[in-house]
Structure 1
Amino acid sequence: MKNFIFFVLTLFFAACTTSGESESELNGQLKNTLTKAELQDKIKGGWAGQVIGCTFGGPTEFRYNGTMINDYQPIPWDENRCLWYYKNSPGLYDDVYMDLTFVDVFEKEGLDAPAASHALAFAHADYRLWHANQAARYNILNGIMPPESGYWQNNPHADDIDFQIEADFAGLMAPGMVNTASEICDKVGHIMNYGDGWYGGVYVAGMYSLAFVSNDVNYIVTEALKAIPEESQFYQCIHDVIQWHNEYPNDWKQTWFEVERKWSADIGCPDGVFRNFNIDAKINAAYIIIGLLYGEGDYSKTLEISTRCGQDSDCNPASAGGILGTMLGYSEIPEFWKRGVYPVESMDFKYTTMSLNDVYEIGLKHALQVISENGGKVEGENITLAVQEIQAVALEVGFENHFPVERNGIGERLTKDNSEFEVEFTGNGFVLTGSAQKQNEHEDLNLELEMSIDGGESESFLMPTGFAKRRHEVAWKYQLPEGKHVVKISLKNPVDGYAVNVNDLLVYSSVKIENTWKTN
């Protein structure tokens, strides 16, 4: 009888240990030891994987909005693809050179470099920015420092993808230490984002961190989500994707349709509300996860799927490719893909003095420092990681009780001859889109504007004509009392040859409009 019981128990434990790495990992048996060579290989895989994914998705970026890229649509790849972009369109790699800004600050000032140092380096860099990044740059240049620079009332793009595509460095610095990666994200990510926009970066960094200690994509995707508050919409969106993958394990397109049905309505980004353009962090993170889950650890399949989900189709495979590249290691990225980075590894990214070869080395240095300072051990060539029990970050909710109800063309042009206008709306918030303009031969100028709401105290602000310093929207205000409001905008220093174009009025209300067909 004893022999029979022993035999049954042996079979039971054998089944537990062979049913997949995910099962053992869920019981705490993560790989927490690496050699320096293995750590270096994973860091290289993360950085190179990000470049590969970004390059592969470059030709389709925002060309397929609200639709997937069909299988018959070819997406080119060859050994010269990265080199072409490095030489001809280096702005594609904003995913990478933005990361490198923060890596460089850590390198120059140490791991305790304050948020202000990162913010100032980012704001004064030569590269062009858009969306949450540009709104944050404007804020910083005008005295609004982090975390206020990324806060949703100061930054209409707070839920956008920006930090999500720039958070790779935080996970690559913190192998197995998701909470430490979240702390780094708190310092840097609130420069430009808040709430769901910030959670995108926390989640991506968490997946990178876990990719050092697990070879199970499902585990990495699911476990990293513990860093996100369950009450947040970001958590709910990614949780849905995981559940739909369980329901439709062999059909990524069905999951894509489910994501589109439930999560495709962007309420924050003024460029995407009432339009099919969607740079919201949630839905683009969903596309990363669709690529990772349905890619099943296959590098080619992962890049193909995450790209073919559309929208920000260079950033999403960059994240998926970097996370998977970390899990596999540089040495295990298929040669078909890796050969594309060989010609550029020694070339500095534009706007930086850093190449892939440089960041491979600096990345290892920073990771070893973070390991040593957070309970891990570095003993010669052997490393022991202090794998952390994941804690959720604080709950942040942007645009709460703000529902888009109207988008109306304004078509106003503030000039020397027409220096003010008024607009009325009914709701609890608004955004006026537009930009400052100059005639070609003129020098850049800071146009001075004032805004008053309902005849109240005026608020002054600048609208630079220079692209790098521009204000992303003309004006906005949230959390107004629900009701009728009058907004007056005045140009205080009108000059011939300069103007402020006011394009659209986006109106929010605390009352969500329900379509009548839903109740009929």
Structure 2
Amino acid sequence: MSKISKVCLFLLCLLPLVGVAKPQVVNVSRSDYQTRLHGFWLGQNIANWTGLITEMDKVGTAKTMPFYTDEDWGTKDLKAMWGEYVPHASVIDFYFEKPNQPWGSDDDTDIEYIYLHLHDKHQTSLLTATQIRAGWLEHIYPEDSAPLFKKFPDSTAQKENFLWESNQRAHDLMIQGMLPPLTSEPKNNSKYMMIDAQLTTEIFGLFAPIRSDIALNIANLPISVSAKDEAQWIANFYVVMHSLVLKADKNLSIQDRVEWLAKQARRQLPKNSYPAKMYDFVWQSYQNNPDKNDWEKTRDAVYQRYQIKQADGYKYKDPFEAGINFAASLVSLFYGQGDIKRTIQIGTLSGWDSDNPTATWGGLLGFMLGYQGVLDTFGKSEMADGYWIHRTRRNFPDRTPNLAGEDTLTNMAKRGVEIVDKVVVEQMQGKLDIKNDQWIIPLP
């Protein structure tokens, strides 16, 4: 036997002693996840409709100054920058839809609903550019043929397709035949830096529990519909936070888990980008502030640093931008300290596009609490469960013909679990164990 053969034989004999490392897996309860998704949809709707009360009331201009503070909670709402009040509330306070009425769709929930529907319709774990474009064209009204809608009590009815900024431009490009990600390329879409992708893609983090790598992959094209560069990285930040919720140490307080999630998501922001520097600035301002109720101090510092001084490479132009709203959202996240009520309250009062950060954190914290946890936190025995997608979108099946609206949050959570089934098996190469009500998710 040659010397090489003897060495190989010796190594083979060692294998039983060394052993082969088994891949690490995590078991996740499907039924528990469904109640969490129910909490996500409920928390997001509460936060969305609460934040809408102050949307664009305060955007840091001479006309809209000073900003809101805690003293304004419970007081009369002011007109938005376009000079009108919202129709659903006159006081700045938590908004709850009546139990027998559906939650109305809005841009913070309706395109996520479209993606939920498309995954279900195509029975796929990964949407293609063609499927996304076809879904947008089928379910979103063109701007010139949208139905008449009276947005405010004192408004004149006008055509409204409930798309704004980058999403509107992307939709126009899709009508012309363009596919994502070309719809977010700066040469095609000058609005690529707006907030739009944040409010349409957080749900992809929940479609890929624990595996943020998979979440970013399945979210990539949907984010690229309307976001590029910094706006894309900011949307990724939110996707990662949602994906990693169940990976956070359950023994930690919810505040510590939220901060851990934020730190993990911070890692994927390019080192010298302005979103990374915004995160670090807001975090340090929060850490250095001895009065954790004085969130206004950090919000005002954000205004001075980024809207006025345009620091860290950020060039402020528009209150709808991803950048300024990312910084504002972090103020409510950190000072909210994991309390869904306080987080929504601060987000609603923070300024700029205030319904979007509130909806994002309302959904995240609603998922962390689960449906019953959201009810308990707000002291409710029940809340509205219906969902009226045709308020803003079109051509969906009426899944609840005997109820107002076309769907329920309960049904939406159930379909979400079925999508996760496919993601776990097809994208993660994990296992669906129906008998034991669980997913077996391999870690990378």
The TM-score normalised by the length of structure 1 is 0.62
Counterpart of 2:58, as a letter, is: Y
In 2, the alpha carbon distance for the partners of 1:136 and 1:177 equals 29
1:151 to 166, 169, 185: 185
Provide closer, same or farther for how the CA distance between residues 377 and 158 of structure 1 changes in structure 2, counting only shifts above 3 A: same
Moved over 4 A (4+): 81-86, 338-341, 346-349
Provide closer, same or farther for how the CA distance between residues 375 and 111 of structure 1 changes in structure 2, counting only shifts above 3 A: closer
1:44 to 38, 43, 50: 38
1:115 to 129, 139, 142: 129
Counterpart of 1:115, as a letter, is: A
Provide closer, same or farther for how the CA distance between residues 338 and 387 of structure 1 changes in structure 2, counting only shifts above 3 A: farther
Q: CA deviation at 1:107?
A: 1.2
Give the match for residue 71 of structure 2.
72
User: Is the partner of 2:432 in helix, strand or coil?
Assistant: strand
Give the match for residue 371 of structure 1.
424
2:28 to 12, 28, 34: 34
Q: CA deviation at 1:312?
A: 1.0
Does 2:215 align with 1:202? no
Q: CA deviation at 1:311?
A: 0.9
Identity percentage of aligned residues: 23
Does 2:93 align with 1:99? no
Provide closer, same or farther for how the CA distance between residues 161 and 84 of structure 1 changes in structure 2, counting only shifts above 3 A: farther
1:106–1:112 CA contact under 8 A, matched in 2: yes
In 1, the alpha carbon distance for the partners of 2:411 and 2:388 equals 9
Counterpart of 1:146, as a letter, is: P
2:39–2:366 CA contact under 8 A, matched in 1: yes
Q: CA deviation at 1:143?
A: 2.8
Q: Which runs of 5+ in 1 are unaligned?
A: 1-29, 268-272, 389-520
Greater relative contact order: 1 or 2 (C-alpha under 8 angstroms, separation 6 or more)? 2
Provide closer, same or farther for how the CA distance between residues 340 and 319 of structure 1 changes in structure 2, counting only shifts above 3 A: farther
CA deviation string 1:362-391 (max 9, x = no partner)? 111111221233043333213333345xxx
Does 2:279 align with 1:238? yes
Counterpart of 2:410, as a letter, is: N
Does 2:414 align with 1:357? no
1:311 to 316, 341, 352: 352
Provide closer, same or farther for how the CA distance between residues 71 and 231 of structure 1 changes in structure 2, counting only shifts above 3 A: same
In 2, the alpha carbon distance for the partners of 1:207 and 1:94 equals 21
Counterpart of 2:45, as a letter, is: V
Give the match for residue 162 of structure 1.
196
2:259–2:334 CA contact under 8 A, matched in 1: yes
Give the match for residue 301 of structure 2.
258
CA deviation string 1:2-25 (max 9, x = no partner)? xxxxxxxxxxxxxxxxxxxxxxxx
CA deviation string 1:482-516 (max 9, x = no partner)? xxxxxxxxxxxxxxxxxxxxxxxxxxxxxxxxxxx
In 2, the alpha carbon distance for the partners of 1:152 and 1:83 equals 45
Give the match for residue 225 of structure 1.
266
Does 2:47 align with 1:53? yes
In 1, the alpha carbon distance for the partners of 2:49 and 2:98 equals 7
CA deviation string 1:96-116 (max 9, x = no partner)? 111111121111221233122
User: Is the partner of 1:311 in helix, strand or coil?
Assistant: coil
Task: Identify, as 1 or 2, the structure richer in strand.
Answer: 1
1:238–1:282 CA contact under 8 A, matched in 2: no
Two-structure CA RMSD over aligned residues (Å): 2.7
Give the match for residue 291 of structure 1.
332
In 2, the alpha carbon distance for the partners of 1:223 and 1:82 equals 37
Counterpart of 1:283, as a letter, is: I
1:375–1:386 CA contact under 8 A, matched in 2: yes
Q: CA deviation at 1:298?
A: 1.2
Q: CA deviation at 1:304?
A: 0.8
Q: CA deviation at 1:264?
A: 2.3
Larger Rg over CA atoms: 1
Q: CA deviation at 1:243?
A: 2.2
Provide closer, same or farther for how the CA distance between residues 331 and 257 of structure 1 changes in structure 2, counting only shifts above 3 A: same
Counterpart of 1:311, as a letter, is: W
2:26–2:441 CA contact under 8 A, matched in 1: yes
Q: CA deviation at 1:83?
A: 7.2
Counterpart of 2:214, as a letter, is: T
Q: CA deviation at 1:340?
A: 9.8
Counterpart of 1:120, as a letter, is: A
In 1, the alpha carbon distance for the partners of 2:296 and 2:127 equals 43
Does 2:440 align with 1:384? yes
2:325–2:352 CA contact under 8 A, matched in 1: yes
Counterpart of 1:377, as a letter, is: K
